[in-house]
Amino acid sequence: MGRNASAPALADQETIKAVQTLRTHADHPSALLAINRQTARFCAPGIDGLIAYRLAGRRHLVMVAGIAAAHDHRAALLDTFLLWAHREGRKVVAVQMLHEDAELFASRGFSVNQIGASYSVRLDRFKISGTPFIKLRNKISRARRSGVAVLELGVDLPASGNVWDAVAAIDRAWIKDKGTKELAFLIGELGAPEAFDRAIKRLFIAMADDVPVAYILYTASFGQHAGWMHDLSRRNPDTAAGVMELVNITAIERFKAEGAPMLNFGFTPLTSLADSNELPGAYSRATAWVFRQLAQHGSVIYPAQAQLQYKLKWAPDLIQPEYIAFQKGATAGGLWQFLRLTGAI
């Protein structure tokens, strides 16, 4: 049932099957996190579906991005998963759940709290004309005037070894320079060059003087959120202002031309928190208080407001609360293991 999905590649038949399952049943913008290299996938006999998770410490496991199964089979898959976790001696923490999954966890006795929100743009109605987008247009124009060009890997730019080396150099510079943390486990991965598949991953690279200086990875979203996810983004520290916005508008124009329904900007923790989003009778007031304190004073743990401001400049027209659930109630140990697993502490 449970398996450690260590270092999967798209040539791996199990990974191919997982992607097919996600295409058929996933209904979460971040469902493709299930194929990250260190993420395991739980499957149950007789049920076409999966649950993505990672082990956390000796007594917990953390599942992510909901339950990918047919609607009528979601509860059965969850119950089988919970039974397996119990037999393994582990308590379950579930993060990045949309409202319907949150209700299902609440019905199984979990303590469920809103932990943040995800932000999406419907591409058929998106445009950056008008007064609200003046600053955004100016930043994009400034980047264009600086001579930066944006090319898509495998379309406008050959996927050569030199390009991948340059992308790796951007990663190293970004990691060395960054003073804040990314939420590992909750973001996508480029993966190995030989396993890169444009059907589920798109890489747009900013070029200055024919040298890659920044990129954004977009990963596929399925179900009612079908389209693309603005996922991993990195740049050299000295990259000109507006380059990331130029990369994103270039990708948006291509996605719109292809008829993609949505661009999902993904989950941002500790944002858009509201009492009205909590599930009556299922949430912990103490946990809600902790999250609100972190939202106000927790920039050292995660720069949520900086992430939010970038997303809001694109005027998202779909904002969905996302939830975290703790088996047998929220505990300091469960929250600690989640924060350790994501790299927030």
The string of pLDDT tens digits covering residues 241-274 is 999 999 999 999 999 999 999 999 999 999 999 9
Q: By three-state DSSP, how is residue 58 classified?
A: coil
Which residues are registered as beta bridge partners of 114? 323
Identify the sign of the CA torsion 94, 112, 66, 226: negative
CB contact at 8 A, 23 and 35: no
Full strand arrangement of the beta sheet holding 211-221: 40-42, 49-56, 60-69, 91-97, 318-326, 111-122, 262-269, 227-235, 211-221, 201-208, 149-152
State pLDDT tens for residues 163-185: 999 999 999 998 887 655 555 66
CA distances from 252 to 104, 268, 289 (A): 34, 20, 37
Q: Can you tell me the distance from the alpha carbon of 258 to that of 271, in angstroms, rounded to the nearest whole number?
A: 31
Assign domain 13-117+268-303+318-342 to its CATH architecture. Answer: 3-Layer(aba) Sandwich (3.40)
b/e sequence 16-29, b meaning 16+ C-beta within 10 Å: eebbebbbebbbbb
Domain residue spans in the chain? 13-117+268-303+318-342, 121-265
Residue 285's Cβ-count burial label (10 Å; 0-12, 13-18, 19+) is: exposed
CB contact at 8 A, 75 and 28: no
Nearest to 119 by CA among 345, 249, 289, 313: 313
Per-residue confidence in pLDDT tens, the chain, 345 aa: 554 433 334 458 889 999 999 999 999 999 999 999 889 999 999 999 999 999 988 899 999 999 999 999 999 999 999 999 999 999 999 999 999 999 999 999 999 999 999 999 999 999 999 998 999 999 999 999 999 999 999 999 999 999 999 999 999 998 887 655 555 667 888 888 888 899 999 999 999 999 999 999 999 999 998 999 999 999 999 998 999 999 999 999 999 999 999 999 999 999 999 999 999 999 999 999 988 988 887 665 667 788 899 999 999 999 999 999 999 766 555 565 555 555 544
Helices 243-258 and 134-145: crossing angle, nearest 10°? Answer: 100
Nearest to 40 by CA among 1, 71, 68, 66: 1
Topology alike, domains 13-117+268-303+318-342 and 121-265: yes
Residues 6+ apart with CB under 8 A from 209: 147
| The CATH homologous superfamily of the domain defined by 121-265 | Gcn5-related N-acetyltransferase (GNAT) (3.40.630.30)
CB contact at 8 A, 66 and 27: yes
pTM: 0.90
